Amino acid sequence: MEILACPKCGTDNIVKSGVIKDRQRYLCKSCNYYFTVNKLGKKIDVYYVTKALQLYLEGLSFREIERIIGVSHVTVSNWVKEYKIKKPTHTDYHPTYKIFNHLELVEFLKNKEQLSGAGMIITELGDKFMMIKWERFKG
């Protein structure tokens, strides 16, 4: 017999509560949540959630994050809403980003001229590295 747990609170204090569309319905006695089965949906690694939220805070758009990480821009938008992330206003800075492999990153960092005049952060992104650079708007 399969032991179920509440998908909302995680306790195993559940009882059967009828059948809907030929599927057993359950009630969690701890939080009064009704559910049919333990849904094993597509779960995205927390690493990618964290990276997406970091990129959002750095000023990248949802679609830019989608192209970089490979997660739907709607999913990224939902994470921002779920975690109540507020983007700070960057009126005088413009973030740009580049994706490098290891050797490209080493070559880029050798040139001191590219390192001055802006703030930057380098973060690992799978087998590549992403550099986010903030430059002042000119004008």
**In terms of pLDDT, which residue wins out, 90 or 29?**
29
Least confident of 6-20, 86-100, 120-134: 86-100
d(CA 131, CA 113): 15
Q: What is the pLDDT of residue 63?
A: 94
Is residue 131 a contact partner of residue 118, using CB atoms and an 8 Å limit?
no
* Closest alpha carbon to 105 in 84, 125, 83, 134: 125
Cβ-proximal residues to 47 (8 Å cutoff; 6+ apart), any chain: none
**Radius of gyration over every alpha carbon of the chain, rounded to an integer in angstroms:** 22
d(CA 93, CA 56): 15
Q: What is the pLDDT of residue 1?
A: 47
What dihedral angle (degrees, nearest 10) is formed by the CA atoms of 46, 48, 50, 56? Answer: -150
pTM (2 decimals)?
A: 0.58
